[in-house]
Amino acid sequence: MPTLLARNAEVLVTMDGGRRELKNAGLYAEDGIIRQVGPTAELPVTADVVIDLAGQICLPGFVNTHHHLNQTLTRNFPGAQNNNLFPWLKTLYRAWARTDEEASRASTLVGLAELALSGCTTVFDHSYVFKNGNNVDCQIEAARELGMRFHASRGSMSLGESKGGLPPDDCVEEEPAILKDSQRVIERYHDPSVGSMTRIVLAPCSPFSVSAALLKESAAMARHYKVRLHTHLCETLDEERYTLERFQRRPVDWMETLGWLGDDVWFAHAIHVDDDEIARFAATGCGAAHCPCSNMRLGSGIAPIKKYMAAGVKVGLGVDGSASNDASNMLLEARQAMLLARLRLGLLPPEGPRKYMFLSPSHPIRSEEWMTAREALELATIGGAGVLGRTDIGSLEPGKCADFFTLDLETIGYAGALHDPVAAVLFCAPQQAKTTVVNGRIIVRDGEIVTMDIRPVIAHHNRCAARLREG
């Protein structure tokens, strides 16, 4: 049974029920499961692998609740730098549909490696374009090779332009084929056990790219196999206009008629919601993946995260993209979540809930309205775990998975901020993880990926990206 000892951390953030932050602390794990967390002096003195965390802060591994790893191939894409969601999608759909297995594998590795370097240990990926030989299998294989905890999606698009959807007809799949492959990947890969490294999620893309029938059938299949459901929702006012015109319902009402409100569901973005919809998310247990960078990049709006938190809605963070971010950096995302929640405080709806204007700077803001650094870290860790339906990750406690990362506090980026190193993690500029451990295995050591040689993968990824751009 392989053992791991991490000791001498300047501070260790547990994210346990008491939100304890321990000084000169560490943890001891057996077989990827934490057995002890506490002051270094109280931990065992030897293990198969010993990591010295002197001068570092240790945090639970971040949980990324929304991403499209394949989009690392289309970062900063020509013609898709300065537009909002619908025209941005229309610029990119065909490039995504050209993604083959080889490109998918390279982009999955690149995206996951970048995430690991930003402290992320569990990733949900929302892949939904499976044309040209792309498949879930190569992504799962890549995640296993790198050593990341991976929730893969068998996503889908079935509603092409000719049927009133947004994507071109040649970018969507036939529904029977989607359902057949969904069943195949669940049966082959989904592992519901404690400490699971691989889970499957059914994730039809959005109300404007998937039919009502497929949304219903996906929900029925997910519930039969007890896997989770995910889609994009309430991301833009264009989407809201689409469902109002086509179905005479707001997006949340539309999803409710399809059986899509429940504690096994979470929605990406969830920006344009009213107070009643927030209450329904709380009552039904629906979660939200907050993607602040993407929401700013596409000018989508500002999700009411503090309202969600006050109402008891489960919220995690997602980097989204990487064509709408264009980074896979969870530390950056947590910082942006904190900052964007603050910007929202300075805005007021003058004539309805979805039009904003700036208030005068003298507008009083109560202290509990500010999103703190610790709250943003909570969203990135234990919050994300809840959204993914996991009780075995998100905090550093005995019985939980040994997923954590560290940051070197003795660097220029934190100079002058060390009276509160936990808050410094988000108030100061995002730094690269010094160490990242997933399931008791070191993935990042001294700021470098050590489970594979990532340099040739990057070079290959750049060649694949060029091919997609050129068509």
Asked if 333 interacts with Zn ion (CB under 5 A), we say: no
361: its two tokens: 């700077």
DSSP label of 61: P
Q: Which is nearer to Zn ion, 175 or 320 (CB)?
A: 320
Smallest distance, Å, CB 131 to Zn ion? 18
Pick from 375, 3, 389, 404: which is nearest to 228 by CA? 389
**Binding string to Zn ion for residues 79 to 118, with x set by CB under 5 A, is what?**
----------------------------------------
**How many C-beta atoms surround the C-beta of residue 468 within 10 A?**
21
Closer CB to Zn ion, 269 or 306, in the complex: 269
> What is the rounded distance in angstroms from the CA atom of residue 314 to the CA atom of residue 320?
18
Residue 27 CB partners (closer than 8 Å, separation 6+): 5, 6, 12, 34, 36, 37, 38, 43, 58, 396, 402, 404
Which of 175, 217, 240, 320 is close enough to bind Zn ion by CB under 5 A?
A: 320
Which residue lies nearer to Zn ion by CB, 268 or 286? 268
User: Whole-number minimum distance, CB 315 to Zn ion, in Å?
Assistant: 16
Query: 64 or 432, CB closer to Zn ion?
Result: 64
Cβ proximity to Zn ion, 96 vs 405, nearer residue: 96
Q: Which 392-421 positions form the footprint of Zn ion (CB under 5 A)?
A: none
Distance CA 162, CA 94 (A): 16
Q: Which is nearer to Zn ion, 64 or 243 (CB)?
A: 64
CA atoms within 13 A on the CB side of 165: 23
DSSP state of 41: G
Q: Which stretch binds Zn ion (CB under 5 A): 46-54, 178-186, 253-261, 312-320?
A: 312-320
Q: Which range in 220-228, 273-281, 317-325, 420-428 contacts Zn ion by CB under 5 A?
A: 317-325
Interface of this chain with Zn ion, residues 14 to 73, rule: CB under 5 A: none
Closest-CB residue for Zn ion?
320
Is the backbone of residue 217 left (phi > 0), alpha (psi -120 to 50) or beta?
alpha
The minimum distance between CB 321 and Zn ion, in angstroms, equals 7
**Number of residues lying near Zn ion (CB under 5 A):** 2
Report the residue number, 29 or 293, with the smaller CB distance to Zn ion: 293
Chain positions 253 to 272 lying near Zn ion, rule: CB under 5 A, are 268
> Looking at beta carbons only, is 32 or 165 nearer to Zn ion?
165
**Ramachandran region, residue 161 (left: φ > 0; alpha: ψ -120 to 50; beta: rest):** alpha
Three-class HEC string of 379-432: HHHHHHHHHCCCCCCCCCCCCCECCEEEEECCCHHHCCCCCCHHHHHHHCCCCC
| Residue 180, beta-bridge partner list | none
Rounded to a whole number of angstroms, the minimum distance from the CB of residue 376 to Zn ion is: 20
Q: Where does this chain touch Zn ion (CB under 5 A) — which range of 7-15, 77-85, 313-321, 366-374? A: 313-321
Binding segment toward Zn ion, per CB under 5 A, in 14-22, 44-52, 315-323, 331-339: 315-323
In this complex, which beta carbon is closest to Zn ion, that of residue 71 or of residue 436?
Answer: 71
Q: How far apart are CA 11 and CA 22, in angstroms?
A: 5
Least Å distance, CB 340 to Zn ion, is 17
Q: How far is the CB of 446 from Zn ion (least distance, A)?
A: 33
To the nearest whole angstrom, how small is the minimum distance from the Cβ of residue 231 to Zn ion?
A: 9
- Rounded to the nearest whole angstrom, what is the least distance from the CB of residue 67 to Zn ion in the complex? 8
Closest distance to Zn ion from the beta carbon of 459 (Å): 27
**Site residues for Zn ion, window 153-172 (CB under 5 A)?**
none
The C-alpha atoms of residue 228 and residue 388 are separated, in whole angstroms, by 8
The window from 2-10, 104-112, 272-280, 320-328 that contacts Zn ion (CB under 5 A) reads 320-328
Question: Cβ 68 to Zn ion, closest distance in Å?
Answer: 6
Q: Could you give the 3-state DSSP secondary structure of residue 265?
A: strand
Cβ pair 150, 190 in contact under 8 A: no
In Å, how far are 11, 160, 177, 221, 330 from 172, measured between CA atoms? 49, 6, 11, 20, 30
CB contact set of 87 (below 8 Å; sequence gap of 6+): none
Residue closer to Zn ion, measured from CB, 319 or 401:
319
Beta carbons within 8 Å of 374's beta carbon, 6+ residues apart: 19, 422, 423
User: Applying CB under 5 A, which residues contact Zn ion?
Assistant: 268, 320
